[in-house]
Structure 1
């Protein structure tokens, strides 16, 4: 991962090239609750990590779980040691510009900790919240949660769930599973004594994945996995995969964050194949 020829390196090269060209037709916004130059993690803002880069034609949204990543544009590409200790997850989606107004509203709810951004005035009419978040001057009222439909540049449909700190509940059990109408297997960082148990109290259940298998005999515990994703249980009608920001922890109920979900069957089978075993209720 620590090379500009990696998947992330080549994707982010577009950011560094846009920054070097000082192009006023391109905007970017980078956020992480763990800023690359800081040893502390921010709890004032959302438990969110990601990057947006766009112009008036299209752009991409990278959502990931890697602390202190990526470096600010002036620093150039690097992959941090904090991303090597545990397993990580991410998804990068290209959107036409007409989708960025909906993304703008979702970011307001997620309240990300933005540490590098540039949003020229040509975008300010359509994108109200991102320039305010960029300058840390937002006075907009934040809803407790918001769901929006998005469509990629190639026509792939997505749902994005965003919760604020005032939605004091487990985003998986209380909202996502019930809205998607599917039992979910969740893989999030399960720190000992800080995890929520599997939940079968509502019509659609949520189960904690306890171990991941990569290939052959390679596997590891959820205690070693910093990824945040969930996938529909096998043999369920609605097959969803969601990738995002939050852990199944009682402390995360107080944090802003979100998940982007897809019914792409290639993604579903890839993530379903990672589950070695999960925790049943009781």
Structure 2
């Protein structure tokens, strides 16, 4: 991202001039040319731009916890997740500013395998949910787990009544414009069901993969997975994992854990048919979280949670302090669907999720099946071999 938002540039120019009339002319020029006062980005509950944030919506209602660079740990929110003072509202509501979405230098895509106002569940497109919005300087990518959210453009913002019972997760990251070519290609690998998609005229030649995504042009590539490093607006590194339906395998066991070179504790949807047990069949285990405990919140079971996140077994070397937030689960049906997760090596984020992990499901003993879903429990993760013993470094 180059330089501050237009409003900040105007303020800096004004401060540098002793002639008050010159500063007034500058402000009028910015207003008359329609330049946005703040560039598109993740916003906190006060409407201020942040490099990234994580929201954990709690089960049974609209309460949530918030985490960003400035907090360094979970903070209990004082408002509901659908309040106009919540970061989810502030960020997503940028889509519903008619002036912004009609501009020639704005692009956006809203995607969800359970779109709003649709009684049908799409089991063919990717199991993936999110929002991308950007202008000619940068924007945000919000990865989340909430069905029927957000409303299609032009809005208005609303929280679905179907999203009250279970926990949900959100990861928002602000990126400079140069990152959105990679992000658009990741989305094409994810094979999303998008229901609002637009690329402004000034951006069409610069974002061919986003154009192709909106047009639902089939991706013609040999590889069934793609892993890419993304750099946030403030220079923080995130690692995005994406798979197409042709991967036909467990994203976490066969792509994320080997790539991160770490065993994982993973929280994902445990209802439905074909849910996978903890897996200790390979060099790195993927152990299913069974209960969660968050600050000032009564512990709850994974059966009450629809969020999708994981943390590395250790919070440092070897392996790194990895934490991931995504949109795909561990079950047989989702092996042959697109989807992904976004990870970062950050001790504070790792600790926030690791401390929330109060118990995990032991690996079952026995022979492996064709999906490597049962192993010999021979990996060096005590919690996965029976009985939770706590995470190292906490």
- Pairwise same-fold verdict (TM > 0.5): yes
Partner of 1:73, secondary structure, is coil
Ranked by relative contact order (alpha carbons within 8 Å, sequence separation 6 or more), the top structure is: 1
Moved over 4 A (4+): 18-21
Distance 1:189 1:21 in 2: 34
Residue 140 of structure 1, aligned match among 219, 222, 247 = 219
1:268 paired residue number: 350
Distance 2:200 2:264 in 1: 40
TM-score, structure 2 length as denominator?
0.69
CA offsets, 1:196-225, max 9 Å, x none? Answer: 111111111110000111235611111111
The answer for unaligned runs of 5 or more in structure 1 is: none
CA offsets, 1:141-175, max 9 Å, x none? Answer: 14311111100000000110000111011111111
Partner of 1:76, secondary structure, is coil
CA offsets, 1:67-90, max 9 Å, x none? Answer: 000011222111111221100001
Q: CA deviation at 1:104?
A: 1.4
Maintained 8 Å contact 2:242/2:338 = yes
Distance 1:220 1:250 in 2: 25
1:10 equivalent to 2:90? Answer yes
Q: CA deviation at 1:269?
A: 1.0
1:26 paired residue number: 106
Q: CA deviation at 1:30?
A: 0.5
Report the structure number with the largest CA radius of gyration: 2
2:14 paired residue number: none
Specify which structure has the higher proportion of strand.
1
Q: How does 1:231-242 map onto structure 2 within 5 Å?
A: 231-234=311-314, 237=317, 238-242=320-324
1:212 paired residue number: 292
Q: How does 1:1-282 map onto structure 2 within 5 Å?
A: 1-18=81-98, 22-136=102-216, 138-142=217-221, 143-191=223-271, 193-216=273-296, 218-234=298-314, 237=317, 238-282=320-364
Count residues in correspondence.
Answer: 281
Distance 2:344 2:154 in 1: 34
TM-score, structure 1 length as denominator?
0.95
Maintained 8 Å contact 1:147/1:162 = yes
Maintained 8 Å contact 2:225/2:244 = yes
